[in-house]
């Protein structure tokens, strides 16, 4: 009864022919082993051609037909496969490092609408006795309508039917000492032409500390309805005259 050959035994019995030479898989395996063994057993660096010459002489002593070009091509293919595996593994490692150092800063959606204001307002800076010692300048840069904002480092999202009106501004202190300013006391909002109801900012960074002879960027904001129209802000001191600025989105 004949024993059925395994796939490995079958391959070993199939000759590999090229350029007039017939080399079996067993011979190729022997050739690869003979090639890599001296590479691992010696520290001396020699060229591939020298290795091939050594291998050719060994195979001639064993009566094995050998084609240098075919074998060199086989070695190049093996090297390319090895390089491909290394690059693939390196790519996965790089991806892992990138994911490990992802930018974790909070992001919010962009503004739904924005307008430039670029309006300057000056107010007296008074000392404890009520004497004016300098002036502070408010510069309202722009106004935006947003559904998402950052409050104390956290994302805040408006509820359905509501949105945020955000005013960005900078406060300039030309005095020789630092000051603290409650920015919410200098601006009021009206909606739908209702000047009888002036809204104070619910969103702010007060008290805003402005160092001597410096400028500080800040913001104030109001939650409003999506349907609110004819928006306008009134800028000025609580007890002083206020100037109206219409917000035409």
How confident is the model at residue 45, as a pLDDT? 47
Domains of the chain, with CATH numbers?
7-100 (no CATH), 113-247 (2.60.40.1240)
Q: What pLDDT shows up at residue 8?
A: 44
pLDDT of 25: 56
- The region, left, alpha or beta by phi > 0 then psi within -120 to 50, assigned to residue 13 is alpha
Q: Which residues of the chain have pLDDT under 50?
A: 1-2, 4-21, 39-40, 42-45
Q: According to the model, what pLDDT value does residue 61 have?
A: 65
Dist. CA 182–CA 130, nearest whole Å: 17
């Amino acid at each position: 009864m004949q024993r059925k050959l395994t796939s490995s035994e079958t391959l070993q019995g199939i000759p590999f022919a090229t350029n007039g030479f017939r080399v079996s898989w067993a011979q190729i395996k022997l050739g690869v082993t003979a090639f890599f063994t001296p590479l691992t057993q010696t520290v001396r660096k020699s060229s591939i051609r020298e290795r091939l010459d050594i291998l050719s002489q060994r195979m001639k002593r064993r009566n094995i037909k050998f084609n240098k070009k075919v074998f060199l091509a086989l070695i190049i293919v093996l090297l390319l496969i090895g390089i491909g595996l290394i690059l693939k593994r390196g790519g996965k490692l790089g991806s892992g490092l990138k994911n490990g150092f992802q930018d974790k800063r909070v992001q919010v959606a962009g503004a739904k609408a924005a307008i430039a204001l670029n309006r300057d307002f000056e107010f007296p800076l008074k000392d404890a006795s009520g004497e004016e010692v300098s002036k502070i300048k408010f510069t309202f840069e722009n106004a935006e309508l947003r559904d998402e904002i950052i409050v104390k480092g956290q994302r805040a999202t408006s509820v359905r039917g509501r949105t945020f009106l955000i005013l960005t501004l900078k406060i300039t202190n030309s005095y020789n000492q630092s000051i603290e300013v409650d920015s919410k006391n200098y601006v009021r909002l009206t909606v739908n032409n209702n000047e009888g109801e002036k809204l104070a900012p619910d969103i702010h960074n007060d008290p805003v500390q402005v160092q001597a002879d410096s400028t500080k960027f800040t913001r104030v904001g109001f939650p409003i309805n999506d349907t609110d129209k004819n928006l306008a802000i009134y800028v000025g001191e609580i007890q002083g005259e206020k100037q109206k600025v219409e917000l035409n989105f």
